[in-house]
Amino acid sequence: MSASMTRLMTHRRILLLQGKMGTFFCRFATFLMGQGKQVHKINFNAGDAFFYCHKSEMTNYRGQVSEFYEFLQELIANKQIDAVVCFNDCRPYHAVASEVCTALGVSFFVFEEGYLRPDYITLEEYGINGYSRLDPALIDTLEKANDKPAYTANRFWRLCVSSIIYYAVVFLGRKSYPHYDHYRGLSIWQEMVAWLIAPVRKALRWLPDKLLQRRLLQKQGQFYLVSLQVHNDSQITHHSDYADVKDFIAEVMTSFAKHAPQGTKLLFKHHPLDRGHRDYKDLIARLSVQLGVNGRVFYGCDMHLPRLMRASIGMITINSTTGLQSIYHQKPTKIMGRALYDISELTDQKPLDEFWSNPTPPNREFYLKFREYLIEQTQLNGSFYGTSPWKLAYQQPHSKR
C-alpha cells in the first residue's frame, strides 16, 4: 500500500470531486465506505451523476466556476470534510479545490494515470506531475525496486464505451448544468463525436500501423522514437511551454533534419486517447518535404510501444510518463517540458540539437531507486478500467484521531 493511500485512510470524512469517466469513483467510494469512511461526492454534470451509485450522498453543483470557491468552503464546513479527492489537479474545479484545501488546512489527494505502467495508477497528496512534492533526494535511503504488481485486466474498449456514454449523458443533461465548464476546452458535442471517430480510425489504420511497426523493428538501433501526448492534456497546457503539440512536432522535426546522423529515421507515436481528436499525418508529411527528410519520418498509433522503445536509439517526449518506460528500457530519453523525473541520472540534460548524435543513457541503479520511491509513495496496483488488487491489501479501517 502506497504512503499516499495510507495517509488518505487516516481521514474519516472524504469528499470526492470529478473522477475518470465511468464507474471508478463509485467503486472507490464503496471501498472507502467499507473501511468505515463517510463519503460524499460533488457532480458537475449529468455524466458524473449518472455513473455515481451512492445517490443519497452526492451534491449536484450547477453554478459557475467563479462561484465554486465559496460553495466548496461551505460544503466542507457543513459536512466536516477532512480530505478531498479528485482525478487530475488541473481541471478548473479541481484547481479551485486545491486552493480551498490549502486555505482551510484540508488534505487534498489526486488520482492520475500511473507514473509507472501497466498495472499501476497514481494517488498523490498535494498535486501530481509538475505540482508533485516528491523529493528525489530521498531515494538514496531506499533499496532496489522488486515490484511485481498483479495483472489488472485494464481494457481500452471499456474506456471508449464509458466515454461515449458519459458524453452522451452530459450532452442530453446539459440544461440541468448550464454553467458546466468542460476541462478539455471542447464542447460536449465535439468530445462525443471524437470518441465515435476513434474506433473508426483504429479499424482503418490498424493494419498499416502494424506493417510500419514490423519494418521499423527490422531497423534495430536506426530510428528515434517520439511519444506524442493528448493535445489538450494538462501535461501540455500546464507543464510545458508549448502552445500546441504541433509546435513540438515542428521543433523536433526541424532539429532532426539539421542535426541527426544521416541514415537515421524518426517515428512519431500518436497517443491512442487522442486518436479521435487529432491527426498529424498531413502535418508531418508536409514538414518532411519542406525540411528535406521525406522518407525518413514516420507516423502511427497502433504499435507496441515497449518493443519500439527497445529497438530505438532513444526517445523524445514533452513530459509523458512513457519517458519512465523508456528509462526502464535503459534508453536515452529527452524531455522537452517539465516532468518530475527530468533529472540528472535519468534523462538526457543536453539541448535537443545535441541529443541526436550523443544521447546519454540513464543510470540504471539510480532509476531502480527512483522507481522504488515512486511505488512506495504514490503507486497503487490497479486500473481505472479493470480490477484494483490494492483493495485486497487493505484489510483494517483506519481512523483519524
Mean pLDDT of 41-50: 97
Quick check: 395 pLDDT over 60?
no
CB–CB of 45/166 below 8 Å? no
Reading the block at residue 161, the C-alpha cell is 464505451
User: Do 107 and 125 touch, CB atoms closer than 8 A?
Assistant: yes
Query: How confident is residue 400, by pLDDT bands cut at 50, 70 and 90?
Result: very low
- Check residue 130 and give its pLDDT: 86
Task: Look at residue 13 and tell me whether its pLDDT is greater than 70.
Answer: yes
- Alpha-carbon distance of 359 to 350, in angstroms, equals 8
Provide the pLDDT for residue 145: 62
Give the model confidence (pLDDT) of 96-130 as tens digits.
999 999 999 999 999 999 999 889 999 999 999 88
pLDDT of residue 185: 61
Alpha helix (H) residue ranges in 173-244? 188-217, 234-237
Q: Which of 268, 186, 255 is nearest to 224 (CA)?
A: 268
Grid cell, residue 357, equals 548524435
Q: What is the CATH number of domain 206-371?
A: 3.40.50
* 187 closest CA partner among 167, 169, 163: 167
pLDDT at 143: 64
User: Rounded to an integer, what distance in angstroms lies between the CA atom of residue 224 and that of residue 75?
Assistant: 51
Residue among 63, 80, 83 nearest 11 (CA): 83
At 140 the pLDDT is 75
pLDDT per position as a tens digit, 233-267? 888 999 999 999 999 999 999 999 999 999 999 99
The whole-number average pLDDT for the span 297-324 is 97
Out of 29-43, 230-244, 277-291, which region has the weakest mean confidence (pLDDT)?
Answer: 230-244
Write the pLDDT tens digit of every residue in 80-105: 999 999 999 999 999 999 999 999 99
Q: Indicate if the pLDDT at residue 142 is higher than 70.
A: no
* pLDDT confidence of residue 397: 45
Report the percentage of the chain scoring pLDDT > 70: 96
How far, in Å, CA of 60 to CA of 82, rounded? 20
Mean pLDDT of 384-394: 80
Residue among 185, 187, 16, 159 at smallest CA distance from 91 = 185
Q: Does domain 3-176+372-388 have CATH number 1.10.760.10?
A: no
Residue 398 has pLDDT above 50, yes or no: no
The DSSP letter of residue 44 is: -
* Mean predicted confidence (pLDDT) in 141-164: 83
Kindly tell me if the per-residue pLDDT of 385 is higher than 80: yes
Mean pLDDT of 7-24: 97
Mean pLDDT estimate for the chain:
93
The confidence band for 399, taking pLDDT boundaries of 50, 70 and 90, is: very low
The whole-number pLDDT of residue 392 equals 65
pLDDT in tens, 176-208: 999 998 776 657 778 878 888 998 999 999 999
Sequence letter at residue 264: T
Q: Where in the chain is the domain with CATH 3.40.50.720?
A: 3-176+372-388
pLDDT of residue 327: 98
Residue 9 has pLDDT above 70, yes or no: yes
Non-local (6+) Cβ contacts of 163 within 8 A are 21, 191, 195
Cα–Cα dist 254/242, whole Å: 15
Q: What is the mean pLDDT of residues 198-219?
A: 94
Write out the three cell numbers for 300.
Answer: 502511427
Give the Cα separation of 109 and 3 in Å (integer): 12
The model's pTM: 0.88
- Convert 178-198 into a string of H (helix), E (strand) and C (coil): CCCCCCCCCCHHHHHHHHHHH
Residues recorded for the chain: 401
What pLDDT is recorded for position 340?
92
Please tell me the distance from the alpha carbon of residue 296 to that of residue 224, in angstroms, as a whole number.
10
CA–CA separation, 220 and 312 (whole Å): 6
